[in-house]
Amino acid sequence: MIKHHPKFELLQSYVNGDLPASLAIGISIHADMCTDCQHTIAQLTEQVAEHSFEEATVRLDDLDSNSFTSYSEEADEEDFFESMISNITFSDDADVITEALQREVIFRDKTYQLPTALSRIELGKAANIGKLSRSRLQLDEDEIHSSLLHINPGGGVPAHTHKGFELTVLLDGSFTDSRGEYNKGDFILLDGTFTHNPISQNGCLCYTVANDALHFTQGINKLLNPIGSFIY
Amino acid sequence: MVVEQTKLPTGVSHAKSNSMNENIDHTQLSEWLNQVADKRCKNAFTHLFKFFAPKIQRIARSKFPNEAQSHEVVQETMSNVWRKAHLFDANKGAATTWVYTVMRNVTFDLLRKVKSNREDNLSDDIWPIAEGSVTEEQVYEDHLESNQLLRVIEALPEAQQQVVKGFYLMEMSQEQLANHLNLPLGTIKSRLRLALAKLKVQLGEEHD
């Protein structure tokens, strides 16, 4: 049962196409498994579409300022559009849509099906520390890092916080932290003020996005801070 | 939840959706899209182009610094409309919604190309164009309808409300109602008829 969802504002930015690919992918993965959010997204899309295309005329404002140039610009634009139409309709071919390919990944001998949103993104080689394995997604979004993070049964990430944000979408399995249990499909977005120590009893696979290194907060694990950026 | 807020139209948003309908002829747009899909009709496409292209251009202009890029969005979006029109399903949503998703995806891929220098065209994996909405939609639709129906019933005069609720919601017979309300059977029948006529008008209006 999914309990954690993206905030309304985030869904809105998703629908508008304003989010970086990494976050849009996170929401897409969640929505794939969450009919509530699917419904909200469908509704928001309808609304923003209606709003985008409702304005009756485009150039009303231009007319009073300088009608002469705006007329000739309009004529130019008309020519331009005419030629675009004939270019586009030159060929009668229609696109054939192929089934989204099902992609699988293997972490420590376990095979997982990846969601459609991840089906074509290049994956880096898996790196392992103890019960954690991480494979970086090649999205090239500067300081934003996206990964697949696999936790073996009984493993966990030591108590940490972030300077930026940390998104976790559970693709499979479950984990717990001080706030409770998280299950497949949960969308967990934390900001830098929150400290947590996720532990996975039975193992899990997560899609993670973070825009800065982890910062370990407890005892001996503080020694790990130099490699904090390694995990997420 | 938030869903509830957007789902139930208030007086204000209802008035707004009426004015939207005046601005956009959804039926016409869907028809053109279907003609493009079925008959590769250039005339229908030209109509679609004239409706959408200037608006797409204006929206793209606000997202991209130069004109060439906004033209690219128009060009790409409209050629996708031409080549993918068969993926549009009028039962799943409005033509505006479909064209919007096509435009949003084109814009996203182009922005990514500009910003991250990646030409991986991820958008169709993130927002699949083929299936606008999901099977569960049906369930919600019913849910909506019954909510709306209830609202309209509540708006009936008290006397008619009693009869409608008794007959349809509590499933009492007309005779039972006559007994229960201590009224002649003929009165029950005529109130029911009046109420139904009103409901029809109300629901018809709201559906258009």
Q: Which residue has the higher pLDDT, B100 or A143?
A: B100
Domain that holds residue A120: 103-231
Q: Is residue A215 a part of any domain in this protein? A: yes
Domain count, chain A: 1
Q: Tens of pLDDT along B161-193? A: 888 888 877 777 888 888 888 888 888 888 888
Q: Is residue A125 a part of any domain in this protein? A: yes
- pLDDT-based confidence at A167, cuts 50/70/90? very high
Fold of B16-126: Rna Polymerase Sigma Factor; Chain: A (1.10.1740)
pLDDT of residue B48: 96
Cβ-Cβ contacts under 8 Å, B82 against chain A: 88-89
CATH 1.10.10.10 residue ranges in chain B?
A: 137-207
Which residues make beta-bridge pairs with B101? none
Instruction: Say yes or no to pLDDT of A63 above 80.
Output: no
The reply to whether residue A121 touches residue B120, judged by beta carbons under 8 angstroms, is: yes
- pLDDT-based confidence at A185, cuts 50/70/90? very high
CATH number of the domain where residue A182 is located: 2.60.120.10
What share of chain B has pLDDT > 90, as a percent? 42
The reply to whether residue B134 touches residue A17, judged by beta carbons under 8 angstroms, is: no
With a threshold of 0.90, tell me whether the complex ipTM lies above it: no
Q: Number of A:B CB contacts under 8 A? A: 151
Average the pLDDT over each of A172-176, B121-125, B161-165 and give the range with the smallest value: B161-165
- pLDDT-based confidence at A95, cuts 50/70/90? confident
The set of residues, in sequence order, having a beta carbon less than 8 Å from that of A227 and lying 6+ positions away, is A129
pLDDT of residue B150: 74
Instruction: Say yes or no to pLDDT of B143 above 60.
Output: no
pLDDT average, residue stretch A84-100: 84
Domain B137-207 matching CATH 1.10.10.10: the answer reads yes
Interface test with B, best of A16, A50, A169 (most B CBs within 10 A): A50
Q: Which residue is closest to A30 within chain B, CA to CA?
A: B126
Contact between residue A216 and residue A222 where contact means Cβ atoms under 8 Å apart? yes
Q: Is residue A60 a part of any domain in this protein? A: no
Instruction: Say yes or no to pLDDT of B142 above 60.
Output: no
User: Which amino acid would we find at residue A231?
Assistant: I
pLDDT of residue A221: 52
Q: Which residue matches tokens 């004109």?
A: B67
Instruction: Say yes or no to pLDDT of A188 above 80.
Output: yes
DSSP letters spanning chain A: -------HHHHHHHHHT-S-HHHHHHHHHHHHH-HHHHHHHHHHHHHHHHHHH--S-S-HHHHHH-HHHHHHHHHHHHHHHHHHHHHHHT----PPPPPPPPEEEEETTEEEEEPGGGTT--BPPPEEETTEEEEEB---BTTBEEEEEEE-TTEE--SEEESS-EEEEEEEE-EEETTEEE-TT-EEEE-TT--B--EESS-EEEEEEESS-EEE-SGGGGGGGGGHHHH-
Listed as own residue / partner, the contacts of B136-141 with beta carbons closer than 8 Å and 24 or more positions apart are B136/A35, B136/A38, B136/A39, B137/A39, B137/A42, B137/B92, B140/A39
pLDDT average, residue stretch B111-133: 81
Candidate ranges B20-34, B51-65, B111-125; pick with highest mean pLDDT:
B51-65
Q: How far apart are CA A221 and CA B184, in angstroms?
A: 83
- pLDDT-based confidence at B86, cuts 50/70/90? very high
Q: Is residue A87 a part of any domain in this protein? A: no
pLDDT of residue A52: 92
Q: Which residue has the higher pLDDT, A124 or A64?
A: A124
